[in-house]
Structure 1
Amino acid sequence: SIKPDAWVKSGMIGTGPFKLQNFTEKRQYNLVRHERYWGGKPPLDAVRVTAYETSTAMALALRAGQIDILSAISRLEAQPFIGNKKFRILTLPTAAHRQFTMRVDDPKLKDPRVRRAVALAINRPQVIEGLLRGAALIGNDTPFWQRYPSAAGVAQRRRNVSTAKQLLRAAGQEDLAFTITTHRLQELPDYAAAIQRYGKDVGIDIKIELQSDAEYYGGGDDYYATTPWINKQATITEWGHRAVPNVYLTAAYQSNGIWNAPHYKNKQLDAAIKSYLSAVDVKTQQRYSKQITSILQRDVPIVTAYHFTSVTPVAAKVRNFQLESINHIRLAKTGLA
């Protein structure tokens, strides 16, 4: 079998509407129409895919006419395209979110009162309006997006500076200091800076470590024990949309989750997740989702402040392109005017 990192080099054999012609690794990939594509002849005769180090660079390329479609960018980055007749703005509410994780086995962060204090310091509506221009739904430190039918009615967590200070004092962490590690993608650096500012209001000294995508998602031979996004003291990582929250629950929150960045283990939560996954009706799912949310709001291994609305500017000449919630770009029926 072909390893994932060798698939492109192998010629990318598949059944899609385009075939790989040639590429320069991590820079540009040229594809041509698959004339025998089972889904009908694609309108485009070729596609050029260009890789960019940052979403800002990608947005600048669209403005300069170097590309016609890009993957989702933040609402702030999309501002120059709004009202410009050369472009169209596609939006789609999604369950996608940014997981601000805190290692529960770190001496400074192991007390759940400390992590609750951090969560209470964050002004979520201000983050949504300031960084995302309103292009998000408020999060409640749970993977249950409010549009999921299984999401239960749980009181929304709100900023409370006084309570946050009390929790830090009770935990003996009035001089708390820690580092958030993230990478240069969309609003993530600005979100980290916002958390840093909110932390100051309650007496927390937060430093920020910004890495490239390659650094952040890189790792040694024992990948899961060495990659920064799963092992640093605190991280902010983007998680894509899922139609149901099952992957979030099993990969990020379950004790043996493969992407459990906070290194959080809780048998009660594991049991609730198992019951949720085996439930056969929405009412039962809601009962267990409420239990799951209550545990996570108490222990706060992960802060979920908002669920991201996908914002994708495209050139006005692009026709029949449909935005997907997980930001896959499908061009089988897409053409140019």
Structure 2
Amino acid sequence: MKNTFILWLMAVSLLLTACTSDTADQTEDRKELNLLFNFAARSLDPNVDSSYVPLRAGITETLVHLNDDTLTLEPWLAESWESEDGQEWTIRLRDDVTFQNGNPMDAAAVKASLERAMVDNIAISNALRIESIAADGYQLTIKTIMPFPEFPSELVHPNTSIIDVTEPDYINKPIGTGPFAVSSFTPGTAVDLIRYDEYWDGAAKLEAARFSFNEDANARSLALESGDADIVFRPEVQGLENLEAIEGVEVESTSTFRVHQMTMNLERESMKDIHVRKAVDVLINRESIAETILKGHAEVANGPFPSTFTFAPDYPAKQTGSEEARTLLAKAGYEEKDGVMQKEGEPLELTLLTYSARADLPLIAQVFQSDAKELGITVDIQQIEGPEEYMATNRDWDLTTYSNLTAPRGDAGYYLNATYHPQGALNFSGADDDALTALIDELNATVGEESRSAIAEKIALYVDEQVYNSFILHPNTLVAYNADKVENWVTSRSEYYMLTNTLDVN
């Protein structure tokens, strides 16, 4: 009896060993990768989250897709859209799409998702300007509050991602239509993903993926070197040569629609004076910043839009440098006494916000602080997290080094509405200029690329004239990855599309 029991134990042990070995082999052979991103997400709520992780990680999708090459709108979850008057829109949905819980993505589900987004995100409500939505089978009828010819382009925005609102855990496990479903989420660390086999555009080649976060650029580079990450978004610029020297590592530098800018708080007394704003603008040494901090992976910015866009105007030539800044400050009533720039005995002191998720922004802040000091201006740099939330809820700052996508849909309307319209979601400056608002409203009612570009140029020149913000450079998107392992990676110029169903490993 004793021998029989021992033999049984040995058999069980062998079976468990074999099972463990098989599981390990299956895990080792599983097609998966780790993408390391530069912003830490605390929530996966796709209709609110400002880091757009759900869309970037392939969890959710939008009705309309932007073609990065042609900058044209393409069908995605929407099959087609049309309007005769620019105010009432008929949108036909794909009829073969299901959410990751198996529920059909019909018009009623999309209506509920869009309505939820507009309730929970006032910026999306302002952007979409929807008066009513009617659902019938796989067809939506949407009426905007006014004629809005560019309405479909707003449906590219990641915060309009379509989710099943009957599944209430939006923060930790949103149920979207993308190729990957959430397996687990650790806020600030990573979201683990599994393939959704019934994905409408064909099951993903990857069986699993991890979309992880680290706001330290050097740490991201080291993670790629050590093999802890397969794809790194925005590695440290200063260490690019080291990465390029590693066999199998590919580094891509791609022009994008982004601008690094100096956002100005127009509600602060000193910044109300246009001469002070102009002095800030001319103090910024753009060429030096592009070469020393970005190592040439950037285009010097004259305005918010890269020069390749038709709506980027030719700006008038400007004088720059510390002496020009001194002249402008004198026009504002400032003079330098005992090494201090002052007005009526009050020193010019500026609070400058910055954040580390974009590693070059704190460096830009330090360069500006140093140049301002030579003029006797004290610049107090404050590190913050969540720049959008901080700037929107606090007005105790003068300047912010900030980075923004200005034309992610190939059109100027998004940035100009968001940044300079009084109701704009990104109007952190507090701009409220009737002449500027009228121009933006005119743009919103205008159809046709040529006509829209002409108005957008007027707006960009007006913003430049008033110096409501100062534009520093257009940084390239930098991505480094293990090319010996990763296949079919595409660096998106819009920065919206990352984990796709075609991404693969060998």
TM-score (norm 1): 0.88
8 Å Cα contact 2:220-2:236 kept in structure 1:
no
Q: Does 1:168 align with 2:168?
A: no
Q: Is the 8 A contact 2:422 2:432 kept in 1?
A: yes
1:254 to 398, 414, 421: 421
1:297 alignment partner in structure 2: 464
Question: Residue 268 of structure 2 is aligned with which of 106, 120, 132?
Answer: 106
Quick one: structure 1 residues 294 and 327, their matched pair in 2 at CA, closer, same or farther if it must change by over 3 Å? Answer: closer
CA RMSD of aligned residues (A): 2.4
Count residues with an aligned counterpart: 327
Matched residue, 2:364 = 191
Aligned with 2:177: secondary structure?
coil
Does residue 325 (structure 1) correspond to residue 493 (structure 2)? The answer is yes
Most deviating of 200-209 and 242-251: 200-209
Which residue of structure 2 aligns with residue 145 of structure 1? 306
Instruction: Give, in whole Å, the separation in 1 of the partners of 2:241 and 2:441.
Output: 43
1:293 match: secondary structure = helix
Alpha carbons 2:179, 2:199 under 8 Å: kept = yes
Q: Structure 1, unaligned stretches of length 5 or more?
A: none
Residue 74 of structure 1, CA deviation: 5.5
Q: Give yes or no for the alignment of 1:28 onto 2:201.
A: no
- One-letter amino acid of the counterpart of residue 397, structure 2: K
Q: Quick one: distance in 2 between partners of 1:254 and 1:110?
A: 18
2:434 corresponds to which residue? 267
Q: What's the offset of the Cα at 1:88?
A: 0.3
Higher relative contact order (CA 8 A, sep 6+): 1
Amino acid at match of 1:83: A
Alignment of 1:235-254 (within 5 A): 235-240=400-405, 242=408, 243-254=410-421
Report what 1:276 is aligned to. 443
Which residue in the other structure is 1:38 paired with? 200
> Which residue of structure 2 lines up, in the alignment, with residue 75 of structure 1?
237
What is the rounded CA distance, in whole Å, between the counterparts of 2:402 and 2:428 in structure 1? Answer: 9
Confirm whether residue 177 of structure 1 aligns to residue 355 of structure 2: no
Write the distance in 2 (CA, Å) between the matches of 1:253 and 1:54.
Answer: 31
Native 8 Å contact 1:102 1:302 kept in 2: yes
Structure showing greater radius of gyration is 2
The 8 Å contact of residues 128 and 306 in structure 1, kept in 2 or not, is answered as yes
Between 162-171 and 270-279, the greater mean CA deviation after superposition? 270-279
Q: How far off is 1:69 after superposition?
A: 1.0
- 1:335 is aligned with what amino acid? D
Q: Which residue of 2 aligns with 1:210?
A: 383
For the 8 Å contact 1:143–1:249, the answer to whether it is kept is no
Cα distance between partner residues in 1 of 2:203 and 2:460:
48
* Maintained 8 Å contact 1:114/1:173: no
In the TM superposition, what is the alpha-carbon distance from 1:81 to its structure 2 partner?
1.4
Distance 1:2 1:132 in 2: 31
Distance in 2 of aligned mates of 1:2 and 1:301: 30
TM-score, normalization by structure 2: 0.60
Identity of aligned residues (%): 25
> By how many angstroms is 1:205 displaced?
1.9
Tell me the distance in 2 between the aligned counterparts of 1:302 and 1:199: 17
How far has the Cα of 1:34 moved from its partner? 1.3
Amino acid at match of 1:80: N
CA gap of 1:3–1:284, structure 2 versus 1, over 3 A, is closer
- 1:321 to partner: Cα distance: 0.7
Structure 2, unpaired ranges of 5+? 1-44, 50-168, 336-340, 342-347
Q: Contact 1:72–1:327 at 8 Å: present in 2 too?
A: no
